[in-house]
A and B are shown apart, each in its own frame.
Chain A
Amino acid sequence: DIQMTQSPSSLSASPGDRVTISCRASQIINRHLNWYQHKPGEAPKLLISAASGLQTGVPSRFSGSGSGTDFSLTISSLQLEDFATYFCQQSYYTPFTFGQGTKLEIK
């Protein structure tokens, strides 16, 4: 199975900060990489597909980049509603696998 490794596993930041979360695949997955936001008690939400495709309704402060094995999710200016856990997911190989998550907390 493809292992997806996210870093850091947790991150403390302040509103207005710029943060970047990394996701590394154990094999080349081209751009078959998606990002999700998950808040406790809520349904996970798709933010970005195919490495950089911002989903409709997702604020433009979110962006994704990368290809091959290394990917990143950047939030340009943190808002209070962005404090959540973020997961990456590859769809190049089955089984589709997720990273272990990055918990973004308020500093």
Chain B
Amino acid sequence: EVELVESGGGLVQPGGSLRLSCAVAGFTFSSYWMSWVRQAPGKGLEWVANIKQDGSEKEYVDSVKGRFTISRDNAKNSLYLQMNNLRAEDTALYYCARFHGDYEIGNWYFDPWGRGTLVTVSS
């Protein structure tokens, strides 16, 4: 059974750091790009970051560049998000998801997803 389980969320003060983890089971983790997507309270979904199968390519939304780092450990089937210099606007439910799609037409999607881990940035 495919399963993605996020952990590491919590309450942190502005300027603080957190490291999120995502444990993956049920598919060949090392064969796929992976992503983090977040949802702020009362808002829509926002793609945060992607990482290539071997970690050699990483992409970020502009609002987190220089503060967040996505990484992975294929031996542990795990995805990570190191979040530094956190701001109130980073408060959200953070989901990890497999990123893949149809190479022929270039359509990319997130599937499957975890249930998320909540990050709250507040003093």
Sorting the interface of chain B by its residue count into under 10, 10 to 19, 20 to 34 or 35 or more gives 20 to 34
Complex contacts, A100 vs chain B, CB 8 Å: 43-44
- The interface residues of chain B lying within 8 Å CB-to-CB of A96 are 47, 108
**B109 to nearest A CB, angstroms?**
4
Chain A, interface SS category: loop
Determine the distance from Cα of A11 to Cα of B79 in the docked complex, in whole angstroms: 36
With A43-B95, A91-B101, A95-B61 known as contacts, the answer to whether A32 contacts B47 (CB < 8 A) is no
Once the chains bind, are B115 and A41 in contact (CB under 8 Å)? yes
From B101, B105, B108, B114, give the contact of A43 (CB < 8 A).
B114
Tell me if B113 and A34 are in contact (CB < 8 A): no
How far apart sit A34 and B101, CA to CA, in the bound complex (Å)? 10
In contact, A42 and B115 (Cβ under 8 angstroms): yes
Complex Cα distance, B44 from A66, in Å, reads 22
Stretch with Cβ within 8 A of B (4 or more), from A12-20, A45-53, A75-83 = A45-53
Alpha-carbon distance between A5 and B114 when the two chains are bound, in angstroms: 25
Which of chain B's residues has its CB closest to A33's CB? Answer: B107
Q: Is the CB of A95 within 8 A of B115?
A: no
B residues contacting A by CB (< 8 A) are: 4, 43-47, 59, 61-62, 95, 97, 101-102, 105-116
Q: What 9 A-B pairs are tightest by C-beta distance, nearest first?
A: A46-B111, A100-B44, A91-B108, A98-B45, A43-B113, A34-B109, A50-B107, A96-B47, A32-B107
